[in-house]
Amino acid sequence: MELIFLGTGGGRVVACSQKRATGGFVIKEENFQIHVDPGPGALIRCIQNHIDVSKTKYLFLSHAHFEHVAGTWEIVEAMSGGGLRKGGSILMNKSCAFGARGEEIFSPILQEYWKNFLEIKVLEAGEEIDFPEFSIKTCRAIHEDPYAVGAIFKFKSITIGYTGDTMFSKEIAESYRGCDLLILNVLRPNNFKLKMHMCTIEAIEFLKYSEVKNAILQHFGMKMLRVGPEREALFIKQATGKNVIAATDNLRVDLRKFIMQEGLGKYYEK
């Protein structure tokens, strides 16, 4: 199983400048793949990384902010052959499906004609749904989108948690216990806190309460990029004693090797 980062940027400024790409990430198995939070440029990042989008069977949207969903139309069209074939599922939170009013106003991402060729699953925190290849359990997130969720993807041999965008919460961290790997969205470095997001110090606490041994950081804002995500990942690793790295754009990780701490797999540099 391979994990491919099509972008590690987070926040509006980074997304608009593309200081880091924002294509989301792909969990790739031999016969199918899951695309998670496809932001701006998702399709072109797939092409650049030699990912066959026609094998994308599942698309997961954690919440409705544009750097997480702006590439959704592209991926849906590509995975369905421009709507010419049925198959595949889109898993989305309530705001992406219906819109919402929270600290911000969110419009729906879901298009009516997608229902003709996609299975639509609208997710709320605390649900668990079984698919032929895996199961997904949604976790609560605290974010501007009132229906934002994180997710735990359970495969036969590995369990991967993804926090999505959320502020730190002991209860949320504990909901990821049992994961083999946790993908953490850490927007800011040091103790530079921002409401509804996590910084480095909060990521340390999150890993403490989640008890997950392996973590990959992503979704970096400008402050994080100026300081250096690799430096922050090393600090977290030293503070927790856990296997922690900062993802880079186009990073490909052999998950078995990473979890067994045998190496990271392949890097593809542009």
Whether residue 97 is contained in a domain is answered as yes
Q: Is residue 102 situated within a structural domain? A: yes
Average confidence score pLDDT of the chain? 94
- Look at residue 103 and tell me whether its pLDDT is greater than 50: yes
- Which residues, at least 6 apart from 159, have a Cβ–Cβ distance to it below 8 Å? 152, 153, 178, 179, 180, 181
**CA 85: distance to chain centroid?**
26
Whether 270 maps to a domain, the answer reads no
Would you state the pLDDT for residue 268?
38
**Assigned domain for 266 exists:** no
Give the mean model confidence (pLDDT) for residues 119-143: 97
Q: Residue 134 above 80 pLDDT?
A: yes
pLDDT of residue 269: 40
261 band by pLDDT with thresholds 50, 70 and 90:
confident
Flag whether 159 is in a domain. Answer: yes
Digit-coded pLDDT (tens) for 13-44: 999 999 999 999 999 998 899 999 999 999 99
144 closest CA partner among 188, 101, 184, 109: 101
pLDDT at residue number 267: 41
What is the per-residue pLDDT across 230-241, written as a single tens digit (0 to 9) for each?
A: 999 999 999 999
- Work out the average pLDDT over 207-228: 98
> What average pLDDT does range 86-114 have in this prediction?
94
Q: What is the end-to-end Cα distance of the chain in Å, rounded?
A: 23
The CATH code of the domain that includes 237 is 3.60.15.10
Domain count, the chain: 1
Give the pLDDT of residue 87. 82
- Residue 44 and residue 159: Cα distance in Å, rounded? 28
Instruction: Note the pLDDT of residue 168.
Output: 98
Domain housing 251: 2-259
Q: What is the pLDDT of residues 177-216, one digit of tens each?
A: 999 999 999 999 999 999 999 999 999 999 999 999 999 9
* Residue 264 within any structural domain of the chain: no
Beta strands in 119-259 (DSSP E): 119-123, 128-130, 135-140, 149-154, 159-162, 181-185, 214-218, 243-246, 252-254
Report yes or no on 269 lying in a domain.
Answer: no
DSSP 203: H
Q: Which pLDDT score is estimated for 30? A: 87
Question: Rounded to an integer, what is the distance from CA 45 to the centroid of its chain?
Answer: 15
Is the pLDDT confidence value at 266 over 70? Answer: no
Specify if 267 maps to a domain. no
CB-based burial of residue 117 (10 Å sphere; 0-12 exposed, 13-18 middle, 19+ buried)? middle
Which pLDDT band, with edges at 50, 70 and 90, does 121 fall under? very high
Percent of the chain with pLDDT over 90: 91
The whole-number pLDDT of residue 263 equals 59
Alpha-helix runs per DSSP H in the chain: 12-17, 42-48, 66-69, 72-79, 94-98, 170-174, 200-210, 222-227, 229-240, 255-259
Residue 264 banded pLDDT, cuts 50, 70, 90: low
Has residue 96 got a pLDDT over 60?
yes
